[in-house]
């Protein structure tokens, strides 16, 4: 790939590796730089972190921790069932804790999940789960053992895989001639519009535009037939793909046109984005510094991978944030990657002593505001601009 660097987010740790004090000394860091591939217009890291460093048997992110995501996958499954044959064969790539596959029937559904802790859970529930990374070799084995798939789904996983050519080529092999492949990942347009640079971390080596996907998929005989813009994860695209020339609907052209108008084809857009990111950093640091100087108690709501990027890029540690609350049992009692802020359960950390809560999980702000109706303090966000809500 011929990449041009446009953004430097500095020294970053593994975003989802929450740690105990004993692990502080040996913590792994890498240099997070982002570039634009000149051929495909793919926004991608200049260098990739090795997959097993991120996805292993201690992986901490659970999709089911948010009602928004549980509902999102249940509604989507319901709508897919109405267009697929009842006995259709379903494959999910990157099944996490089963938040999507639990909506499907165990007999006809298989899953792939490299994080052993989650693969074990879904295997125990009765869904055949391959505890491996998606590779061409695994695709061949699945083809041999189960035949072609009618529906392949993948959420927040394609953007995790550095080698998209190998990935899409092997998906094309496993997909039935009349099959459908749907995947969803954070949208580059939304990231640019919301200045949500925290979509970028080790697990997201690419932030997809429809423009880039269109070019890359086509190399493997895969064609985008529909694009849905969704609000999940701070703005995602759900991309519908078929292996043969099917009629594409106007959402494909609409999205391609909108991306052109937004300037995703111009290098200057990415340079302007980098300037806005730097401004977001100084605004956030200034705001938190002012809050602390007034003697306020400031916490963070949601120990997210996104907040790992923000805290490390902005050097935000316990001098500015007292602690982080998070509902995920695997994260509680540990410290945030890189800047080592303690993570505690919300029951212990959200009370009337808190003046401000930075929304680490800003992408779930509606769900959080509804849940925390009686919260005494005020929320702070950096998306799309730094402010007190």
Position 338 contacts ligand TMP (CB under 6 A): no
Q: Which residues contact 170 (CB under 8 A, 6 or more apart)?
A: 134, 135, 136, 138, 139, 140
Considering beta carbons, is residue 34 or 361 the nearer one to ligand TMP? 361
Footprint of ligand TMP on 19-78 (CB under 6 A) = 61, 65-66
DSSP code per residue over 139-160: HHHHHHHH--EEEEEEES-GGG
Closest listed residue to residue 20, CA positions, set 60, 52, 64, 49: 60
Footprint of ligand TMP on 316-335 (CB under 6 A) = 326-328, 331
Position 96 contacts ligand TMP (CB under 6 A): no
Pick from 42, 216, 368, 380 the residue near ligand TMP by CB under 6 A: 368
Considering beta carbons, is residue 225 or 341 the nearer one to ligand TMP? 341
Considering beta carbons, is residue 202 or 326 the nearer one to ligand TMP? 326
Cβ atoms within 10 Å, residue 272 = 14
Determine whether 37 is exposed, middle or buried from the number of CB atoms within 10 Å of its CB (0-12, 13-18, 19+): middle
Position 303 contacts ligand TMP (CB under 6 A): yes
- Minimum distance from CB of 97 to ligand TMP (Å)? 12
Considering beta carbons, is residue 181 or 364 the nearer one to ligand TMP? 364
Position 200 contacts ligand TMP (CB under 6 A): no
Task: Give start and end residues of each alpha helix (H) in 3-135.
Answer: 51-54, 67-81, 116-125
The Cα–Cα gap between 289 and 183 comes to: 40
- Minimum distance from CB of 33 to ligand TMP (Å)? 22
- Minimum distance from CB of 21 to ligand TMP (Å)? 20
The Cα–Cα gap between 84 and 216 comes to: 26
Cβ atoms within 10 Å, residue 256 = 16
Position 196 contacts ligand TMP (CB under 6 A): no
- Minimum distance from CB of 310 to ligand TMP (Å)? 12
Residue nearest to ligand TMP (CB): 302
The Cα–Cα gap between 220 and 167 comes to: 10
Give the residues lining the site for ligand TMP (CB under 6 A). 61, 65-66, 302-306, 326-328, 331, 361, 363-364, 367-368, 371
């Amino acid at each position: 790939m011929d990449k041009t660097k446009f953004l430097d987010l500095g020294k970053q740790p593994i975003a989802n590796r929450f740690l105990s004090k004993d692990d502080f000394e040996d913590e792994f860091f890498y240099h997070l730089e982002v570039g634009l591939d000149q051929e495909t217009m793919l926004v991608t890291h200049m260098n990739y972190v090795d997959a097993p460093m991120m996805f292993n048997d201690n992986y901490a992110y659970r999709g089911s921790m948010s009602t928004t995501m549980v509902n999102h996958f249940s509604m989507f499954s319901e709508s897919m069932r109405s267009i697929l044959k009842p006995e259709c064969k379903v494959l999910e790539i990157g099944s996490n804790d089963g938040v999507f596959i639990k909506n499907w029937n165990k007999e006809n559904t298989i899953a792939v999940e490299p994080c052993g802790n989650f693969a074990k859970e879904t295997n125990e529930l009765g869904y055949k789960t391959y505890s491996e990374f998606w590779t061409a070799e695994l695709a061949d084995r699945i083809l041999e053992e189960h035949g072609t798939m009618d529906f392949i789904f993948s959420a927040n996983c394609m953007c995790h895989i550095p080698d998209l050519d190998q990935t899409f080529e092997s998906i094309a092999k496993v997909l039935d001639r009349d099959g459908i492949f749907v995947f969803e990942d954070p949208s580059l347009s939304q990231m640019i519009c919301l200045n949500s640079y925290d979509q970028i971390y080790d697990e997201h080596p690419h932030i997809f535009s429809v423009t880039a996907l269109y070019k890359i998929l086509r190399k493997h005989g895969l064609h985008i037939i529909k694009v849905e813009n969704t609000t999940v994860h701070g703005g995602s695209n759900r991309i519908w793909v078929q292996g043969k020339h099917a009629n594409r609907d106007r959402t494909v052209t609409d999205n391609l046109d909108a991306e052109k108008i937004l300037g995703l084809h111009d290098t200057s857009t990415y340079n302007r984005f980098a300037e806005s990111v730097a401004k977001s950093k100084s605004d956030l640091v200034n705001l938190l510094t002012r809050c602390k100087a007034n003697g306020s108690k400031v916490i963070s709501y949601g120990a997210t991978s996104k907040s790992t990027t923000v805290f490390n890029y902005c050097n935000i540690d316990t001098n500015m944030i007292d602690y982080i609350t998070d509902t995920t049992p695997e994260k509680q009692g540990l410290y945030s990657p890189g800047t080592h802020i303690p993570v505690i359960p919300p029951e212990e950390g959200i009370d009337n002593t808190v003046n401000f809560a930075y929304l680490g999980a800003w992408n779930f702000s509606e769900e959080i505001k509804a849940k925390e109706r009686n919260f005494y303090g005020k929320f702070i966000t950096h998306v799309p601009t730094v402010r007190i809500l």
